[in-house]
Amino acid sequence: MELAVECQKRAEGSKPNALRRSGLIPAVLYGHKGSESVALTIKAKTVENLLKKHVVNSALIDLSIPDLSWSGKTLLREVQVHPWKGYPYHLSFFSVATQDSLEVEVSLNFVGEAVGVKLEGGILDGMSQLAVKCKPDSIPESIEVDVSNLKVGDALHIDELVLPEGVVALGEPSQVVVSVLGIQAGSEAEDVEEEETAAAGA
């Protein structure tokens, strides 16, 4: 998934809150010229549409800055969100042109219906994303994980995943990616706890 976004160079002396009131979100671009950074603004509506696509640290974005005559592929590395109002108030982009490899978050797509869910009454419990390392032009849109053969009590670990060529999973190889939990045992335990609580109350 690749997206295109246009930004403008932020005027010197402009106040972030004043920009937000005018419908602009402050942003910054790193990595386009060594250690230099450039202050930008991006339309709030553009940010809203961008974040609906779950692109933080997971998809390449074609960023253009017309008033600097610059364009290039970037990652949206960070979105700062207002602590109680919940809206984004600052974005950080990172240019990937000079990078041999990147660390990104890729969505996991569980395919098939686990035996433990279909026949044994269990529930599927898994990660939604996986941290991986790959070339900038090889970021997968998602990673498929076949859960069809999982029974209650079974699990798949990072080192058991089938990954696209050139993609390396980060994290501990033994980390559980997805498992099937038995809800019946959990329900029985809750029933016992409720009975003990009721007896103590009596």
Instruction: Tell me how many helices (H) and strands (E) the chain has.
Output: 4, 14
Q: What is the mean pLDDT of residues 109-129?
A: 94
pLDDT at residue 162, as a whole number:
93
Q: Work out the average pLDDT over 120-126.
A: 93
Q: What is the pLDDT of residue 1?
A: 59
Q: Which comes out higher in pLDDT, residue 13 or 146?
A: 146
The predicted structure's pLDDT at residue 192 = 42
Query: What pLDDT was estimated at residue 185?
Result: 47
pTM to 2 decimal places: 0.73
Mean confidence (pLDDT) of the chain: 87
Listed residue (101, 174, 112, 167) closest to 144, CA to CA: 112
* d(C-alpha 149, C-alpha 177), whole Å: 15
Q: Which residue has the tokens 């991986």?
A: 132
CB 160 within 8 A of CB 192: no
Q: Tell me the CA distances in angstroms from 8 to 39, 63, 71, one per residue in order.
A: 9, 10, 11
pLDDT confidence bin for 65, thresholds 50/70/90 = very high
Q: Does the pLDDT of residue 55 top 60, yes or no?
A: yes
- 148/47 Cα distance (integer angstroms): 38
| Phi, psi (rounded to 5 degrees) for 19 | -65, -45
Comparing CA positions, the residue from 129, 137, 124, 89 lying closest to residue 106 is 129
